[in-house]
Structure 1
Amino acid sequence: MLSSLYYLVPVLGGYAATSFYLLKNPHILHKKKRLPFHCRHISHRGGAGERIENTLEAFDNAVSNHTHLLELDCQLTKDGQVVVSHDQNLLRQTGHDVNIRDVTYEELPPYKDSLEVTFLPGHMSMGRDHHMPLLEDVFQRFPEMPINVEIKEENGELIKKVSDLVKRYRRADRTIWASMSDQIMKKCQAENPDMPIMFTPRRGVILLLLYYSGLLPFVPLRESVVETYMPSIINRTYFPHNRLMRNPFLVTLQDKLFMRKGLFKHLQDRGIQVYLWVLNQDSDFQRAFDCGVTGIMTDFPSKLNDFLHRQEDKHRTPEETQHTVTGDGVEMCRY
């Protein structure tokens, strides 16, 4: 027994030291991914807390608030049109109990006058635009804007049509494949491998296992983006349908395991961006950035924009801020 330990201890010690060194220096084994965008401000469904979700008005509002990435969802209509909508069944969004796949694009009902914000229960969003746009409408309106396209159903025709639109508008490098399903993600990547992809939940669990086993620095990763919830918002602004996920002990455990600066730093050193959703409060913004995430997905683009500006102001030196006085005697700042 002692002779076995004599060999085992140095081996484990060497493994731990090597793993730690490579965790801090991933460039030794891995070529850094080079996405053409770096996103701190991400608008969930275009900013579902300030305008009706997934409408052109919402996307316009997000862009006017300096968002770096639009997040949206896609479905396919009966006549084969790729429409931007989170739900397949339209009861929540329109009050009509119909499925998008069962109606043509022209037959789609308009959104309700107001919608409850999914990640801030009790808060209603409103807007002038109640029309569900085509994905092509969004690509045409925002040709240079990075867009995160979530595929909601395992539908080969939908995946192909999204890919065809991405190719037509030459935006593969700035359009992210997103899905919660491994099967859907495999089909998306096979259809258009030039588009960056996110970690699915199952792959996220594997990522954590690799991190805590010390294997992560040795393993290549095909994904370019981590998109996941911040566990501490569960039972405050996010209420999962699965009751087990709402268990306070499991929420705390998830938070302890996932919110690790060392993990986020390693991923970003490998060019993998980390986005947390869906955060709608300043305290959550602050915690996420303090933990070293790349970006935050929010329903309130103007609120996150204001927060980021305040953070920038805190870090400005006196030389970077020039104070002037208006004719009314009000001190203004110019940058």
Structure 2
Amino acid sequence: MLEYYHYILIAVGAYLLFSIFFCIFPTLIHGKKKQAFDVQHISHRGGSGEEIENTIQAFRGALRKAAPIGPDRAMLELDVQLTKDKTVVVAHDTDLNRICDLEPNQATLISDYNFNELPPMRKTLEVEFTDAFVFKSNDSTERRIPSLKSIFSEFVGVPINIDIKTNNDDLIKETECLIRNFKREPITVWGNADDAVTTKLYVANPDIPLFFSYKRAITTFILFYLGLLSFTPIKETHFEANLPYKIDRSSIGSFLNSIMWRLIAFVFLNRLYTFHLKQRGIRVYYWVLNSEAEFDRAVRYGADGIMTDFPQKLTDWMIAKKVL
């Protein structure tokens, strides 16, 4: 009986050693993914804390503000929807209620409008990933919802991260067509939180870099803790995740809250997991971070890039800290 348990311990020990070894040296099993770009500065919706979100003016401003950190280090992040006339437009929401001033009987869904019929955006918009911060524009601010084609036409060679916001086959088809026609496959990342969408994206064009869905991210964490991730193929090229750090201010001092935070941080901010992904050539981006304290945390947990609503703030921090 003792010999039986002895063999089990040897087998478990050997399994753990092999798992850890290949976790550190995964390229002995898998080829390292090759990336056509290496960015650290990512402007969320073009920097919605400093310009009207997802507008050409915002994207121009974001690149101008990121310029001091050096060429080829900046990326634009945006979201896409589809209009009635099959134009891919840059907008986060499926409807216009949040971003436009509509008449009582006016249609609300973007899909109910042809591209040229879309109303202008509001002059004032709340910034989602802040504590009630509102960006206020002036009369000269660009407020037109742009087409993805116009973005590709102007920002040639600039890496762009695209969130396909709806599970819509026509949206996927039209977006893929634009990426292919502009020959942007190497410098465009696309994806969605929904695994059903990312599966369709990969089938539509496996040559376009893909970020993890929530399901795939959780699956890889489970495989990691089981010691199996080292032996598992990964089709995605970018791990983009929220940085779980915020403590509920109403329960500061709560022992349970403190334990919950430490557990979340331990599970989802595992440096060995991040190291393993990076060893396999997978970029790690954290979003949406809008303060210097958040930037600091992202670097501590192995971020390759930081996504922010405040591109000027991120640039200033990167220059001051000489990081990334």
List, as ranges, runs of 4+ consecutive aligned residues in structure 1 with deviation greater than 3 Å: 233-236, 247-252
> How far apart are residue 183 of structure 1 and its match?
1.1
Q: 2:301 matched to 1:281? A: no
Alignment partner, residue 61 of structure 1: 61
Amino acid corresponding to residue 51 of structure 1 in structure 2 = E
Pair 126,60 (structure 1): closer, same or farther in 2 beyond 3 Å: farther
Amino acid across the alignment from 1:160: K
Q: Offset of 1:253 from its aligned partner?
A: 2.6
What amino acid does structure 2 have at the position aligned with 1:117?
Answer: V
Residue from 93, 99, 111 that aligns with 2:109: 99
Residues in 2 aligned to 1:130 and 1:183: alpha-carbon distance in whole angstroms = 32
Cα distance per residue 1:271-317 (max 9 Å; x no partner) = 000111100000110111012111111000000111111122x89xx
Measured after TM superposition, the shift of residue 251 of structure 1 is 4.7
How many residue pairs align between the two structures?
A: 304
Aligned partner of 1:188 in structure 2 is 201
3-state DSSP class of the match of 1:87? coil
Residues in 2 aligned to 1:85 and 1:284: alpha-carbon distance in whole angstroms: 26
Cα distance in 1 between the residues matched to 2:258 and 2:97: 31
Q: Could you say if the C-alpha distance between residues 188 and 13 of structure 1 is closer, same or farther in structure 2, counting changes exceeding 3 Å?
A: same
Matching residue of 2:87: 81
**Conserved 8 A contact 1:39-1:69:** yes
| Whole-Å separation in 2 of the counterparts to 1:112 and 1:69 | 25
TM-superposed CA distance for 1:250, in Å, is 4.8
SS of match in other structure, 1:226: strand
**Cα displacement string for residues 9-60 of structure 1 (whole angstroms, at most 9, x for unaligned residues):** 0001111111111111111111100111112111111111100000001101
Structure 2 counterpart of 1:167: 180
Residue 3 (structure 1) shift = 3.0
Q: Distance in 1 between matches of 2:42 and 2:62?
A: 9
Q: Deviations over 1:155-184 (max 9, x none)?
A: 111111101101110011111111011111
- Aligned residue number for residue 47 of structure 1: 47
| 1:144 and 2:157 correspond | yes
Distance 1:186 1:228 in 2: 18
2:220 to 202, 207, 210: 207
In structure 1, the residue matched to 2:121 is: 111
Deviation of the 1:121 alpha carbon: 2.7
Is 2:313 the partner of 1:303?
Answer: yes
**Inter-partner Cα distance in structure 2 for 1:254 and 1:160:** 37
Unmatched 5+ residue regions in structure 2? 67-72, 250-256
What does the per-residue CA deviation read over 1:182-223, in whole Å, with 9 as the maximum and x for residues that have no partner?
111111111111101111000010111111111111111111
TM-score where L is the length of structure 1: 0.87
Report the alpha carbon displacement of residue 61 of structure 1 after superposing the two structures with TM: 1.0
Query: Deviation at 1:235?
Result: 4.7
Seq. identity, %: 39
Quote the RMSD (CA, aligned, Å). Answer: 1.7
Contact 1:231–1:252, Cα closer than 8 Å, also in 2: no
Q: Displacement, 1:266?
A: 1.2
The alpha-carbon distance between structure 1 residues 162 and 259, as it changes in their structure 2 partners (threshold 3 A), is same
1:260 aligns with 2:273: no
State the TM-score, normalized to the length of structure 2.
0.90
Secondary structure of the corresponding residue to residue 128 of structure 2: coil
Structure number with greater CO (CA < 8 Å, separation at least 6) is 2
Q: Is the 8 A contact 1:232 1:252 kept in 2?
A: no
Structure 1 residue ranges without an equivalent (≥5) = 237-246, 316-335
- 1:125 aligns with 135
Give the counterpart letter for 2:32 in structure 1.
K
1:290 aligns with 2:300: yes
